[in-house]
Amino acid sequence: MTKAWVTFYDSQRPDPKPIDGGAASNAAVSRNSRRLEARETRRLQEPAETVCAARSIGRSPSPRKLVPMAIRRAPSALLRCGIRRFSSSEGDYGTSVLLLHHGQPRTPFYATQFLARSAALYSKLPESLTKFFTTPLFKTSSTANQCIADYGHEPSLDERLSQLDSLLGASLSRLLPEFGPINCSHAFLLDEPSIEQRLAEIIQTGVNRLVVLPLYPNYSCFQTGSLLNRVSRIVLEKTEPLESVVEGKKQVERIVPMADVSFEVSTIDRWSAHPVLPSFWSELIQPHLDEIDAILFVAPVMRGYDSNTYNSSIWSSCERVSEQLNNAVPWKLAFHSPWDHLSFPPLRNNIPIQMKHLRRNKLERVLVVPITHVVPSFDTQTTLPRLFAKQPKVSVLSPRPNDPLLVHGLAEVVKNHLLLGRRTTAQLSMVCKFCVDPECEQTRKLFSR
C-alpha cells in the first residue's frame, strides 16, 4: 500500500482516546483497541490497485476518488471494516439481545415433529424412538388438535415476538445509549426461526455483547436449560475463546475465526425474583378482585430435573403477586400437564385437588392465573380454558401480548444485567441432582463467571 493511501486512511480514523466512564467503558476501550490493532495489520496488507491505476495515466490519485474505488475492490473483511471506520467513531457493533422460546407449531404435520423433538428433550431419548409414540398420541389427543385449530385464528407467536423485539429494542436504546446500537431478536428451539439460524445472522452482522434471555421467568432444566444448552453448543462450535485481563479481572470473549468479530456472551437464566413478574400479573388481576373469591395459580409440571427447586420458585412468585395485591384474596397453586407433554396429570397438587380444597372453603368464584406465562400460548388459550369449560364460576386469565408493563420490566431486567456486568447467576454453575448431560457442562463452562 502506498504512502498516499496510508496517510489518507489514517486521517479518516479517529484516535481512540481513553474514556473515563467506569469499568464498563474501560473494558470497551480495551476491546476496541484490540480490534483496531487487528484491522491495522490487515489494512497494511491490502494491494494498492487503485493507486497504481491512477499513476499509470500520469496523474496523482485523488483521495475523494480513492475511497469508493478501494471499497468496491476490497475483499468482504475489509469492506465490513472500512465502511464502519468511515461511518463510526469506534467501529462498534453494539449489543444484541436474543429472546428464546420453545415455539408453537401451526399445522398438524409440524405438530407431530414438534412433539417428537420435545419428548426427546424431556425424556433424553432418541427422536427416532419418541416419534413412534408421539404421533399416535397426537392423533388421539383432542386437546392438542384443538390447540392447532385455535392457533389458526390467532396471530402467530413469531409475529407477536417480532413486535416485542421492536418495543424492547426501542426501550433499551433509550435506557442504555452507551451500549448501543442495541438490537433485539427472537429464536425458537423447536420452530422457525431456529436458534442456529438467528445466531448465525447475529455473528455475521457483528456484535460486541450477546445477551440471551429465555422468556421463562422460572428456571427449569427442560424449559430454560434446553434453550441455553442449544445456544452454548452453537457458540462453542462457531467461536474460539479469547482471555484477557481488564483492571485485574479476567475476561473471556468469543472470537470468530477468519473474521473481525469478537464478543462477550451472557445469559439472564432466571428473572422470577425481579419485580416485573408480580407487577405484570397484579395489574391484570386487580380489575377482577371484586368479582372473585380466590385465585388459583397454575403452572406446567416438571418431573425430575430438580423439580423441587422449580416448584419452590413458582411458589415464591405466587407469594409476590399476592403481596402486590395486599393479600386481598386467598390463593392456591396447582400444577398441570402442558399441551406438549401428552402425559398424565400430576398426582399431587393438581387442579382437581386444589379446586376441591377451595370449594370445601366455600370459595366458588375462582380466577385461574398461569403464573409462568408472559406471552399467550397454547396452554393459556386452549388447554386451561378446556379444563374449566364446564365450571361457569371459574374464569381463566391470559397474558396480554406485548403488554407495556412487560416491555418496561424486561428492559429493566436487561439494563441491570448489563450495568452489573454479570455473565449469569451463580445458581447456574451448580450441577443438578443426577445430571449426566455433557451439554449442561458445556453450558456452565460458557456462561461461568
* pLDDT tens-digit series, residues 359-374: 999 999 999 999 999 9
Cis previous bond, 181, omega within 30 = yes
- The answer to whether the CB of 297 falls within 8 A of the CB of 318 is yes
The pLDDT of residue 231: 95
Separation between Cα atoms, residue 415 and residue 176, nearest integer Å: 7
Exposed e or buried b per residue across 360-372, where buried means at least 16 C-beta atoms within 10 angstroms of its C-beta: eeebeebbbbbbb
Query: Please, is 373 exposed, middle or buried when counting C-beta atoms within 10 Å of its C-beta (0-12, 13-18, 19+)?
Result: buried
Separation between Cα atoms, residue 441 and residue 284, nearest integer Å: 39
- The answer to whether the CB of 364 falls within 8 A of the CB of 133 is no
Q: Where are the domains of the chain?
A: 95-271+408-448, 275-396
Q: Tell me: pLDDT of 186 over 90.
A: yes
What's the one-letter identity of residue 339? W
The pLDDT of residue 41: 52
Q: Tell me: pLDDT of 307 over 60.
A: yes
Matching residue, cell 416438571:
302
Choice among 33-37, 145-149, 299-303, 414-418 with the minimum mean pLDDT: 33-37
CB atoms within 10 A of CB 237: 9
The pLDDT of residue 429: 82
Secondary structure element (H or E) that encloses residue 49, with its range: helix 49-56
What's the one-letter identity of residue 317? S
Share of the chain above pLDDT 90, in %: 55
Short-list 144, 259, 149, CA closest to 200: 259
More confident residue, 280 or 15: 280
The count of C-alpha atoms lying within 13 angstroms of the C-alpha of 213, restricted to the half-sphere facing its C-beta, is 28
The pLDDT of residue 37: 60
- The answer to whether the CB of 387 falls within 8 A of the CB of 254 is no
- The answer to whether the CB of 250 falls within 8 A of the CB of 243 is yes
pLDDT in tens, 25-55: 455 445 555 555 655 554 544 444 433 433 3
Separation between Cα atoms, residue 115 and residue 189, nearest integer Å: 12
Short-list 235, 218, 336, CA closest to 278: 218
Fold: same for 95-271+408-448 and 275-396: yes
The helix/strand count (H/E) of the chain reads as 18, 10
Cis previous bond, 193, omega within 30 = yes
State the fold for domain 275-396.
Rossmann fold (3.40.50)
CA 343 to chain centroid, in Å, comes to 28
Separation between Cα atoms, residue 335 and residue 346, nearest integer Å: 7
Short-list 29, 198, 15, 203, CA closest to 100: 198
Residues 6+ apart with CB under 8 A from 355: 296, 334, 366, 391, 394
Give the angle 318-320-325 at the CA atoms, nearest 5°. Answer: 95
CA 39 to chain centroid, in Å, comes to 31
CB atoms within 10 A of CB 150: 14
Q: List the grid coordinates of 403.
A: 403488554
Report the relative pairing of strands 240-246 and 262-267 from DSSP bridges.
unpaired
Would you give the DSSP letter of residue 17? Answer: -
Q: Tell me: pLDDT of 21 over 70.
A: no
Strand partners, 213: 99
Q: Tell me: pLDDT of 12 over 50.
A: no
- Conformational region of residue 285, where left means phi above 0, alpha means psi within -120 to 50, and beta covers everything else: alpha
Separation between Cα atoms, residue 373 and residue 235, nearest integer Å: 28
Given pLDDT bands bounded at 50, 70 and 90, which one contains residue 67?
very low
CB atoms within 10 A of CB 86: 13
The pLDDT of residue 227: 95
The pLDDT of residue 209: 94
- The answer to whether the CB of 418 falls within 8 A of the CB of 205 is no
- pTM score, two decimals? 0.78
Q: Tell me: pLDDT of 100 over 80.
A: yes
Q: List the grid coordinates of 114.
A: 414438534
Secondary structure element (H or E) that encloses residue 368, with its range: strand 366-370
CB atoms within 10 A of CB 57: 6
**Looking at residues 263-268, what average pLDDT do you find?**
93
Look up the CATH architecture of domain 95-271+408-448: 3-Layer(aba) Sandwich (3.40)
Q: Tell me: pLDDT of 198 over 90.
A: yes
The pLDDT of residue 380: 95
pLDDT in tens, 113-151: 999 999 888 888 888 888 888 888 888 888 899 999 999
Given pLDDT bands bounded at 50, 70 and 90, which one contains residue 248?
low
CA 21 to chain centroid, in Å, comes to 28
Given pLDDT bands bounded at 50, 70 and 90, which one contains residue 445?
confident
